[in-house]
Amino acid sequence: MSNPKFSLHGKKIAFSGATGVLGTSMSLYLAKEGAEVLILGRTPAKVDDLVKEIQSIGGTASGYICDVTDEKSVESAYSSIEKDHGYIDILINAAGGNMPGAVITPDKTLKDLELDSLRKVMDLNYLGTAIPSKVLFPLMLKNGKGNIINISSMAASRPMTRVMGYASAKAAIDNLTKFLCVELCAKHGSSFRVNAIAPGFFLTEQNRALLTETDGSLTGRGNQIMSHTPMARFGNPEDLHGTLHWLCADASEFVTGTIVAVDGGFSAYSGV
């Protein structure tokens, strides 16, 4: 008999940013494990396609259209989720991304940074996590317990070259994760916890051109990353499933305020 503390069966999981490469993989995995996945996204076609894909494998899913950087939009989703489900067990904040204007490439300097792009990156990554956490938290209070899982990045702890906006925003996610850990336990009790997963380098549509050439070989930056990754490969979406499962399950009920690296050893390598 399997350990019930690892079961995800019947858990109601609200999931923002679920329609991206990593989010889709994680959503499908959670559904296969018996969770009920509530997809939050701003593009109706993408949300609908993911819900149908989950249902096609026998999973349970529903979709809610909202912009996670807009409080009123998320409040509208809250009302629909409350009506349909009453409460949630888990919130996964995976909405995020970068913009070219918030990147300082080798041929540019700080003066070329586009502040409007920087604001948008901060809004998407930071407010896109803070707003759903604030607005949807009462759905956890209705359940008497709750679990927030944020998606950070290795760029948060190591301010890497080029990705100024993204790295700064993810550093804010790490800080927010630890802040909310203390805040929720202090005011609502030990049944509420907050953690984050910090992926290393995974090939997505956003970074593929930075890391690989059109023929699939590595760019200079890609080679540099490989030389600092003991496992010498990029992550596959499936590499996140085990950590995600553990953090969603009751098996990790004494874990809060933690940033879990899933990076093939990148954060352990000093280069010496």
Q: Where are the beta strands (DSSP E) in the chain?
A: 12-16, 36-41, 60-65, 90-93, 146-151, 192-199, 259-262
- Other residues' Cβ atoms within 10 Å of the Cβ of residue 224: 14
Exposed (0-12), middle (13-18) or buried (19+): which is 270, by Cβ within 10 Å? exposed
pLDDT for residue 272: 63
Question: By C-alpha distance, which of 221, 97, 117 is closest to 167?
Answer: 97
- pLDDT mean for each 10 residues of the chain (272 residues): 89 96 97 98 98 98 98 98 98 94 92 96 97 98 97 89 92 98 98 97 79 86 88 94 98 98 92 68
In order of 14, 128, 162, 218, the CA distances from 102 in angstroms are: 29, 17, 8, 23
State yes or no: is 166 an active-site residue: yes
Q: Nearest 10 degrees: CA dihedral of 137, 18, 58, 141?
A: 0
Six token digits for residue 51: 């819900």
Question: By C-alpha distance, which of 80, 78, 51, 77 is closest to 66?
Answer: 77
In order of 150, 179, 206, 217, 219, the CA distances from 264 in angstroms are: 19, 27, 20, 19, 19
pLDDT for residue 1: 44
pTM (2 d.p.)? 0.94
User: CA-CA distance, 144 to 254, in Å (whole number)?
Assistant: 16
Active-site residue among 78, 87, 166, 269?
Answer: 166
Question: By C-alpha distance, which of 103, 206, 122, 102 is closest to 169?
Answer: 122
